[in-house]
Amino acid sequence: MITVKEGDKAPAFSGKNQEGEKIALSDYKGKKLVLYFYPEDDTPTCTIQACNLRDNFSLLKQKGFEILGVSPNDEKSHKKFEEKYTLPFNLLADPDHKVIDKYGVWGEKQLYGRKYMGLHRTTFIIDEKGVVRKVFLRPRNKQHAEEIIKAWEQL
């Protein structure tokens, strides 16, 4: 169950990116952050979403956004994913679900009638003051950058 809602202060976190460098929410203070959670590196839907953000990276940067992807994969997996698709943004490794649990994006899912636990693909737009301004519960993976920009302009 998603625990962080629009208007909430974004929960603080830190972890390591694909380079093994420490990344924290505080690194983005004074910037708009697209914090997107995705289930797994190099799977079809996750790749479509990451590549949409990559392909629109300069436009998002121009609009003042930073991007940070988070999944349960480890640093090594993230590094391979970043290199394979030339991703220009950080990917936070969260195999222990510390960040995932803070944002409440892990929970029961269903596929072909089978229930299982997994990560709910979710994006949070966090403003310069650290406040969650928009939550996408079902991001449109092929048009994710466009929906981020449109949503921000409508705030």
Catalytic residue set: 46
Q: What is the DSSP letter of 134?
A: E
Gap between the Cα atoms of 52 and 69, Å rounded: 13
What is the three-class DSSP state of 47?
Answer: helix
Within 10 angstroms of residue 64's Cβ, the number of other Cβ atoms is 10
Which stretches does DSSP call E strand in the chain?
A: 14-16, 22-24, 32-37, 65-71, 90-93, 106-111, 114-119, 122-126, 132-136
